[in-house]
A and B are shown apart, each in its own frame.
Chain A
């Protein structure tokens, strides 16, 4: 299993060793490749049993969730088991403002969803972030359920169990058709019958939604990187390492924990808004507690604290069940087994942050040295 992270870190090292122009070319190529995935339909990766574009959209949407939750769990070390609550609030804000009670355009609904989830993050965080560890986990677990129950019971606002339909789609323009690629074995054909209209946010075609979500992932990643590489990121890390020592070194830990919580919530809300506009119909059943667990699994599987790791895990955990749809219910058994294997053999996740890889290597070396001394 260690080969996984060595492989990726090896890639990272080679990449950093390249001249600047080569890095830019490679980066652009990678970005273009990811954008064109639903057009290229690469064999092995593409899903045959479900719409590949829709799967990719879900991957991108959950990647956003994972980035947000990674701020809360990975950077600040706060175990949040109710993240679906923020996702739901984001989705319902779009539903309520865009369809149920007003007809605001989506471009206004999305920022509104982020603001509302940010505020709800502060409202939940202000009293609960005073408790630590397991207690926080329990309180947030309750929060996720409370949100769902409110959605069911506050019928006047949310239309209860019937849900909200006709949620607005992003404004689009019909520019041109992009034919998709069809593969037969290893030969590629341009499939002129199966096309995607560039930036037409329709009901059947998920590809434009994927592009929208992917763009947002890029923007959020950039902001995430800026946050982490600053005083804010350091304060989070210090708080996670030793809260009391951090406080005594002048870090207002409560304020920074609240900031992490609210930022994470806002990103969850953004993702929820995307979900709402893609589905165009939401009801409380979309936001059960199972999703909270799945989100935490993404962060833990990916490696807490590494943004690329959690994105990889989010994509993997979304894509694999679709790819192996032909196994039907056996998938969930395999999924569970895979998680258990991971917990046993690789508790730090697929792609832990670089420095904890180094730290564990150093520890192992020390152990070997100490054993050597003891034997001598």
Chain B
């Protein structure tokens, strides 16, 4: 019985049902169902979402992936992969389908333990840290297939992220200690700031599942940013977007970087990545085949071969 989700309720919307909640007073949530009404969801990139603690990180290597190998039984998903991310840059992690990009993410965020090799964050090995501890340390991520908390509102989704740096426990929640109030209002301020930045502040009280696809994608980024990440990992954030939407999202990601965050971006689309990233790492069949500036990657024969296939006559 884990959550009898009401999706299956065979109840057509009857006019009568809606009439039964009259003059309810100012309830923002009830407008959630009136989605036909257009809400302006243009991101407002002028909002300052920077965090001093993140902005003050010293320049240099933020994260080092050191000779990571990961095997699942006989399958080698990652094979001696090494690269690093510098503070304040956007690093693109690209490669064809099944190259191990997401697996690489999963190793960095503690979902998988590497078979050999290791990941260092701010000079310290991640070791056997649990997933939530790594998030608290400063690595946050989004998911390739959206994994929001669907039955929670947009605001609550972001609040869960903000709770990563809160420590209110049962005791202070029950007694409503000052700490509870301080953290709740800090979290809410931060959440509204991020929602405004993403252009979602007018949808704060809508359920995540009722948001349009593009808004859900941006909400996931907002939720990850709420944890005050030193490194923000985006797993194909533009999947399913049309070219214009993709370009807009890339601009948004650049703004996030300009506000002091370090971004690791997985993307499928080579052309798109070229424009926004500072450096690029290319994976194929679990191996790193190239690393360098976008211009260098563009002309790299191994990369071209990986993406376009090798012309057999040419060899």
Q: Contact: B1 with A304, CB < 8 Å?
A: yes
Tell me the complex Cα distance, A300–B176, Å.
30
**Residue on A nearest B156 in the bound complex, by CB:** A234
CB distance from A228 to the nearest CB of B (A): 9
Among B3, B7, B8, B164, point to the contact of A250 (Cβ < 8 A).
Answer: B164
**Residue on B nearest A364 in the bound complex, by CB:** B13
Q: Contact: A356 with B13, CB < 8 Å?
A: no
**Does B143 touch A at the CB level, under 8 Å?**
yes
CB distance from B12 to the nearest CB of A (A): 6
Q: Contact: B9 with A226, CB < 8 Å?
A: no
Q: Contact: A360 with B173, CB < 8 Å?
A: no
Q: Contact: B176 with A226, CB < 8 Å?
A: yes
Q: Contact: A235 with B131, CB < 8 Å?
A: no
Among B141, B151, B163, B210, point to the contact of A356 (Cβ < 8 A).
Answer: B151
**Does B4 touch A at the CB level, under 8 Å?**
yes
A231 proximity list for chain B (CB < 8 A)? 163, 166, 168, 173, 180, 183-184
Tell me the complex Cα distance, A238–B111, Å.
18
Among A10, A349, A359, A367, point to the contact of B151 (Cβ < 8 A).
Answer: A359
Q: Tell me the B132-151 residues at the A interface (CB within 8 Å).
A: 132, 135-136, 140-141, 143, 147-151
Q: Tell me the A341-376 residues at the B interface (CB within 8 Å).
A: 346-349, 352, 355-365, 367-368
Tell me the complex Cα distance, A3–B21, Å.
11
Q: Mark A1-42, 1 if CB is under 8 A from B, else 0.
A: 011001101100110110000000000000000000000000
Q: Contact: A17 with B173, CB < 8 Å?
A: no
Segment touching B, from A98-106, A158-166, A251-259: A251-259
Q: Contact: A360 with B9, CB < 8 Å?
A: yes
Segment touching A, from B23-31, B251-259, B290-298: B23-31
B174 proximity list for chain A (CB < 8 A)? 223, 226-227
Q: Contact: B35 with A304, CB < 8 Å?
A: no
A242 proximity list for chain B (CB < 8 A)? 147-150
Q: Contact: A368 with B25, CB < 8 Å?
A: no
Q: Contact: B1 with A232, CB < 8 Å?
A: no
Tell me the complex Cα distance, A300–B1, Å.
8
B207 proximity list for chain A (CB < 8 A)? 355, 358-359, 362
**Does B54 touch A at the CB level, under 8 Å?**
no
Among A235, A259, A356, the one with the most B-chain Cβ atoms within 10 Å of its Cβ is A356
Tell me the complex Cα distance, A242–B152, Å.
11
Q: Contact: B17 with A6, CB < 8 Å?
A: yes
Tell me the complex Cα distance, A37–B119, Å.
65
**Residue on B nearest A232 in the bound complex, by CB:** B173
CB < 8 Å A-B pair total: 187
**Does A77 touch B at the CB level, under 8 Å?**
yes
A358 proximity list for chain B (CB < 8 A)? 29-30, 32-33, 207
CB distance from B63 to the nearest CB of A (A): 16
B5 proximity list for chain A (CB < 8 A)? 348, 356
Counting contact residues on chain A (CB < 8 A from B), the size range is: 35 or more
**Does B2 touch A at the CB level, under 8 Å?**
yes
Known: A227-B174, A230-B180. A368 touches B149 (CB 8 A): no
**Does B55 touch A at the CB level, under 8 Å?**
no
B27 proximity list for chain A (CB < 8 A)? 13
Q: Contact: A348 with B150, CB < 8 Å?
A: no
**Residue on B nearest A358 in the bound complex, by CB:** B32
Q: Contact: B1 with A365, CB < 8 Å?
A: no
- Report the interface size for chain B: residues with CB under 8 A from the other chain: 65
Q: Contact: B150 with A241, CB < 8 Å?
A: yes
CB distance from A336 to the nearest CB of B (A): 18
Known: A242-B147, A248-B109, A250-B163. A364 touches B9 (CB 8 A): yes
Among A77, A232, A360, point to the contact of B3 (Cβ < 8 A).
Answer: A77
B30 proximity list for chain A (CB < 8 A)? 358
CB distance from A296 to the nearest CB of B (A): 7
Q: Contact: B21 with A348, CB < 8 Å?
A: no
Among A79, A234, A240, A362, point to the contact of B33 (Cβ < 8 A).
Answer: A362
**Does A247 touch B at the CB level, under 8 Å?**
yes
**Residue on A nearest B18 in the bound complex, by CB:** A361
Tell me the complex Cα distance, A264–B93, Å.
45
A230 proximity list for chain B (CB < 8 A)? 168, 173, 180, 184
Q: Contact: B135 with A250, CB < 8 Å?
A: yes
Q: Contact: A13 with B13, CB < 8 Å?
A: no
Known: A13-B25, A358-B32. A363 touches B7 (CB 8 A): yes
A365 proximity list for chain B (CB < 8 A)? 13, 33
Q: Mark A136-176, 1 if CB is under 8 A from B, else 0.
A: 00000000000000000000000000000000000000000
Closest A-B pairs by Cβ, 4 of them: A250-B164, A230-B173, A360-B6, A250-B135
**Could you jot down 28 A-B contacts, CB within 8 Å?**
A6-B21, A13-B22, A13-B23, A17-B23, A227-B170, A227-B174, A230-B180, A231-B163, A231-B184, A235-B163, A237-B156, A238-B149, A242-B148, A242-B150, A245-B143, A245-B149, A248-B111, A248-B132, A250-B227, A251-B164, A252-B132, A358-B29, A359-B6, A360-B11, A362-B33, A363-B7, A364-B9, A364-B11
Binding site for B on A (CB under 8 A): 2-3, 6-7, 9-10, 13-14, 16-17, 73, 77-79, 133, 223, 226-227, 230-235, 237-238, 240-242, 244-253, 259, 263, 296, 300, 304, 346-349, 352, 355-365, 367-368
Beyond A17-B23, A79-B1, A237-B151, 16 additional pairs, beta carbon < 8 A:
A13-B22, A17-B24, A77-B2, A223-B174, A227-B170, A231-B168, A233-B173, A238-B152, A241-B150, A241-B152, A250-B135, A250-B164, A251-B132, A300-B1, A358-B30, A363-B9
